[in-house]
Amino acid sequence: MRQAIEEGFILDVLKNYTTYKTYWNLLKIIKDDPHYEHMKASYLLKQFVDLSDHAIKKKVAIILDHFANQVMHRINNKAKAMIVTRSRMHAVHYKQIVDQFIKERKYPFKALVAFSGTVSDHGMKLTEASMNGIPETQTAATFKQAEYRFLIVANKFQTGFDQPLLHTMYVDKKLGGVNAVQTLSRLNRIYPGKEETMVLDFINEAEQIQESFEPYYDRTILTEGTDPNLLYDQETRLSEFHLFNKADIDQFTQLFFAPKTTQDKLHAALHSIVERYKAVTKELQTDFRKTLDDYIRLYAFLSQVLPFTDADLEKLYVFSKFLIRKLPVTREKLPVEIQHQIDLDSYRVQKTKDQVSISLVRGKDEIDPMKPKGNYEVIPDDIEPLSQIIKELNDRFGTDFSKQDNVFIEQLEAKLAQDIALSISVRVNPPENARLTFDHVVEDKLQGMIDSNFKFYKQITDNPAFNQQFVDWLFERYVKRSVQP
């Protein structure tokens, strides 16, 4: 990162970083004085504040003032900005309030919002398309138009989005680790007349952002190389299951690359393989599926950096990507649960200090290469793995969870299992797209389960590393149980 900045390939996104702190008072509006658990009530009240229109209006006023006075004229009057919100509901409220302020103050620009699925707000069903007035597929292209200066996002366009006119980011979401680097790096693209970037952060401390960027700043060394021969190892492992052979791959890929192939023909070409898969033991099914997934991930990674002349590797990749979506996994059923409210007396958002440049230390950090995950074991159908994951999370994060957490996870999994739209999304989409949808659905379900187990909910929402490990595990478990042929 340092070399790329010094040689002018990217901009330093930490150069102009401003953090804010929030101060507020709540007012009790009922005559009685009921008793609540202190920690639980405190957290719920804070959530109430964060999502209140009054709080968001205060932040929007700062954002639009800053943009109009310090950003809009930059990059030859073409500068754009992104507001990063913590949830889809926050994104909806931000869009409504930003539009209101733009109209009232007669600003000469417009805003777009980006989030997946449907959000229910005060009885209204809202989608990205309905709020923007354009199809969801056209959001990125529309943002290129000169009149659209703001993009409000919730877990969308934070990574892999390339808009060089993006100059400033307004952060209202907890960021950490590589997610912080990926999100803020949306600003680093160079463009004629773009001399700097700016970040206004309402949530994170400068020290936390510095810590997230440090490993990637100077020299990031792989502890060892990613060996291209691993692909051949995985190819051999797959052949040892005897569930398909080279003729099966050739037949499928001939159909796949033929101009007039139909989905029905492709499904039919894999039918006999799926039947063979169903006939083997559960342990072999798990091992095969994971080995197939390893091959897909390795090929997708290595093909970006190495030229492959072996057409058989490409054929196996195409074949594997389609096959893994067809493989059935046994579905399980479980149970279900609820939530809270108040009034805001005062609210203030205050800059912690003047704009700073977050400096990073030169040196080298190590990260591990991409490798296959190795041999796999089937998770038993009983509830034991839940106890194991709780223990792992406790050991890693020093939490103090009980058997009640097993029940909470069961209830969460029950809600996920009953979500038909999620099941379809996981079945028909590639893993990375399915995972995006899964994350949104998990977030929604958790919002409705605050009272079921507040301590576990708080740990998930407050600790990014814990959240990542838990949701990774949850997704893997869901895919095993829910993907249908």
Give ∠ CA 313-319-323 in degrees, rounded to 5.
140
Query: Which pLDDT does position 338 carry in this prediction?
Result: 21
Q: How far is CA 60 from the centre of its chain?
A: 24
Query: Which pLDDT does position 130 carry in this prediction?
Result: 95
Residue burial 372-393, b: 16+ Cβ < 10 Å; e: rest? beeebeebeeeeeebeebbeeb
Query: Could you tell me the CA-to-CA distances from 170 to 49, 63, 145, 165, 319 in Å, in that order?
Result: 19, 7, 20, 15, 43
Query: Which pLDDT does position 68 carry in this prediction?
Result: 92
Dihedral angle at the C-alpha atoms of 24, 30, 32, 37, nearest 10 degrees?
-40
User: What pTM did the predictor assign?
Assistant: 0.53
Residue 426: its H or E element: helix 420-428
- Digitized pLDDT (tens) for each residue of the chain, 485 residues in all: 777 788 888 888 888 888 888 766 555 555 666 666 655 555 666 777 777 888 899 899 999 999 999 899 999 999 999 999 988 999 999 999 999 999 999 999 999 999 988 888 888 999 999 999 999 889 999 999 999 999 999 988 766 678 999 999 999 998 887 788 888 888 989 999 999 999 999 988 888 888 888 777 654 444 344 566 777 888 898 999 999 999 999 999 888 888 777 878 888 889 999 999 999 998 888 889 888 888 887 777 666 555 566 788 888 988 998 898 888 865 433 222 222 333 444 445 666 655 555 655 555 554 445 555 554 444 443 333 444 544 554 555 455 555 666 677 778 888 888 877 788 777 777 776 778 788 888 887 877 776 666 677 777 776 777 777 788 888 888 887 754 44
Amino acid letter at 242? H
Q: Is the distance from CB of 441 to CB of 88 less than 8 angstroms? A: no
Q: Is the distance from CB of 442 to CB of 419 less than 8 angstroms? A: no
In this structure, the chain runs to a length of 485
Query: Which pLDDT does position 131 carry in this prediction?
Result: 95
Query: Would you list the DSSP string of 7-62?
Result: TTSB--TTSSEEEEEEEEEEE--SSS-----HHHHHHHHHHHHHHSHHHHHHHHHH
231: nearest Cα among 146, 316, 289? 316
What is the C-alpha end-to-end distance of the chain, expressed in Å? 43
Query: Which pLDDT does position 383 carry in this prediction?
Result: 37
Query: Which pLDDT does position 372 carry in this prediction?
Result: 53
Amino acid letter at 406? N
Q: Is the distance from CB of 91 to CB of 114 less than 8 angstroms? A: yes
Query: Which pLDDT does position 109 carry in this prediction?
Result: 95
Give the whole-angstrom CA distance, residue 69 versus residue 240. Answer: 65
